């Protein structure tokens, strides 16, 4: 039944997970990865592995109980994410903001499943994304000077309402910020806050036609920003009326190779653009959106949670080690385990979800086979001590686990 038992405690249990269908997902990527069919042709966006009530995992054992019913809630949520189209421009709250926002919306009697609800739980959602395929993302505000440069390039070719919109965005970035007069303010780059507030109040500023008409000339005259111009043009084809078309000009463009990763703290504005990745986050579905979406945008609350310091995430490269710990939070972590030899010992001592991203793995203890997993399959390992548990096969495994 896919379970090893030691003194009545399951050693390793295969999981049955749920798929989330969002319009930015792919009809093929996740089904192909899992070796499954998609007869309805729906966009499979995320495979959730964890205990979040919106799509909880079940244990493949008698009765197929919920993972949370047997072992309680986990502080993390692991996902296989397929972004064939850009996700919304978004940020997530920290723990204090999540608790406050959740309680406020409860007092307002907003149903948990209401489309205009921002806080669906009381958990924070700091996250890490590790590329499975080449992966493109936007993350964190650029240096204001660079934002000015890029917007001024567009300004020289604009006219009418589009020119007015660009000037409205440029104005706060060009103002000097004298901290000596406002020493009581938090140490933030205030012009970025004023800039983004102006951005949120734009209504169909005509960026699509400007970018489309000028793309070739922009690439010719400013080839150092070729990737940004091309991405703006791509987004313009998907969201022609959305001001978020110019997001690549004020957010950092990040391109990850397979197994490279970035960490995204709470309050950092970002958007996943294209690629298949493994994402680990707090056990939360709290999203504050700012563009490139037909869903609800809560402008005041987004402004309330955002970090307006410029921020460019470091790219973490795992190297060639057999076991790698990615940058983590205080509560949970993501590890990569690779094996090409006869076997390795399982050393983790905390509850964990294991996901096979390549190859296959067999779990044994005292020469007894407990479970085998293929690419795309996952398992839960609940026991804090597993002396003698071995993993054999040629595989790449992602391990999401708590930290003691």
CATH number of 17-139+256-296: 2.60.120.10
What pLDDT does 81 receive? 98
* C-alpha distances in Å from residue 272, one per residue of 209, 226, 280: 24, 19, 14
Which three-class secondary structure state does DSSP give residue 141? strand
pLDDT tens digits for range 120-141: 999 988 899 999 999 999 999 9
What pLDDT does 348 receive? 87
Count of CB atoms situated within 10 Å of the CB of 345: 10
Q: Is 179 a catalytic residue?
A: no
pLDDT class of 331 with cuts at 50, 70, 90: confident
Assigned token pair, 297:
């945008």
Indicate whether 188 pLDDT > 60.
no
Greatest Cα-to-Cα distance within the chain, rounded to the nearest angstrom: 76
DSSP 8-state secondary structure symbol assigned to residue 199? H
Indicate whether 320 pLDDT > 50.
yes
Q: Which of 113, 132, 131, 133 is nearest to 121 (CA)?
A: 113
pLDDT class of 386 with cuts at 50, 70, 90: low
pTM for the full predicted model: 0.92
Of 2.60.120.10, 2.40.30.10, 3.40.50.2000, 3.50.50.60, which CATH number belongs to 323-402? 2.60.120.10
The answer to whether residues 184 and 208 touch, using CB atoms and an 8 Å cutoff, is: no
Q: Within 13 Å and on the Cβ side, how many CA atoms surround 233?
A: 15
What pLDDT does 178 receive? 44
The pLDDT mean for the chain works out to 92
Where helices occur in 85-189 by DSSP H, the ranges are: 95-107, 144-155, 160-174
CA distance 293 to 242: 8
CA distance 353 to 279: 13
What pLDDT does 5 receive? 43
Which three-class secondary structure state does DSSP give residue 236? helix
Q: Which of 117, 120, 289, 338 is catalytic?
A: 289
Mean pLDDT value across residues 251-278? 97
Please determine whether the domains at 17-139+256-296 and 323-402 fall in the same fold group of CATH.
yes
Ordered DSSP codes for 241-288: T-GGGGHHHHEEEEEEPTT-EEEE-TT--EEEEEEEEEEEEES----E
pLDDT class of 6 with cuts at 50, 70, 90: very low
Domain map (residue ranges) of the chain: 17-139+256-296, 143-247, 323-402
CA distance 286 to 388: 40
pLDDT class of 86 with cuts at 50, 70, 90: very high
pLDDT tens digits for range 267-288: 999 999 999 999 999 999 999 9
The answer to whether residues 138 and 247 touch, using CB atoms and an 8 Å cutoff, is: yes
pLDDT class of 175 with cuts at 50, 70, 90: confident
């Amino acid at each position: 039944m896919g379970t090893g038992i030691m003194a009545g405690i399951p050693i390793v249990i295969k999981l049955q997970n749920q798929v989330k269908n969002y319009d930015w997902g792919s009809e093929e990527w996740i089904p192909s990865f899992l070796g499954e069919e998609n007869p309805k042709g729906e966009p499979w966006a995320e495979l959730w592995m964890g205990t979040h009530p919106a799509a909880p995992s079940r244990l493949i054992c008698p009765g197929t109980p919920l993972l949370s019913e047997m072992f309680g809630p986990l502080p993390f949520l692991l996902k296989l994410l397929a972004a064939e189209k850009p996700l919304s421009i978004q940020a997530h709250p920290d723990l204090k903001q999540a608790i406050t926002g959740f309680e406020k919306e409860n007092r307002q009697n907003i149903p948990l499943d209401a489309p205009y609800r921002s806080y669906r739980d009381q958990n924070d959602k700091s996250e890490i994304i590790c590329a499975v395929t080449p992966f493109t993302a936007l993350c964190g505000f650029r240096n204001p000077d660079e934002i000015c440069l890029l917007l001024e390039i567009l300004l020289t070719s604009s006219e009418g309402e589009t020119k007015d919109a660009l000037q409205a965005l440029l104005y706060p970035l060009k103002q000097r910020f004298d901290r000596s007069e406002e020493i009581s303010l938090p140490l933030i780059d205030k012009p970025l806050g004023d800039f983004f507030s102006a951005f949120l109040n734009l209504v169909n500023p005509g960026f699509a036609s400007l970018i489309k008409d000028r793309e070739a000339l922009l690439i010719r005259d400013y080839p150092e920003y070729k990737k940004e111009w091309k991405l703006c043009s791509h987004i313009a084809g998907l969201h022609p009326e959305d001001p978020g078309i110019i997001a690549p000009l004020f957010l950092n463009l990040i391109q990850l190779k397979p197994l490279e990763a970035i960490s995204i703290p709470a309050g950092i504005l970002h958007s996943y653009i294209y690629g298949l990745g493994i994402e680990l986050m707090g056990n939360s579905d709290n999203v504050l959106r700012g563009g490139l979406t037909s869903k609800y945008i809560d402008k005041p609350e987004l402004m309330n949670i955002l970090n307006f310091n410029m921020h460019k995430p470091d790219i973490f490269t795992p190297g060639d080690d057999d076991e790698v710990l990615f940058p983590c939070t205080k509560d949970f972590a993501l590890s990569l385990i690779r094996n090409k030899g006869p076997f390795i010992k399982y050393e983790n001592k905390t509850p964990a979800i294991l996901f096979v991203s390549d190859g296959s793995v067999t779990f044994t203890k005292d020469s007894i086979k407990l479970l085998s997993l293929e690419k795309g399959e996952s398992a839960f390992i609940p026991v804090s001590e597993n002396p003698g548990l071995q993993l054999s096969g040629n595989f790449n495994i992602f391990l999401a686990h708590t930290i003691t």
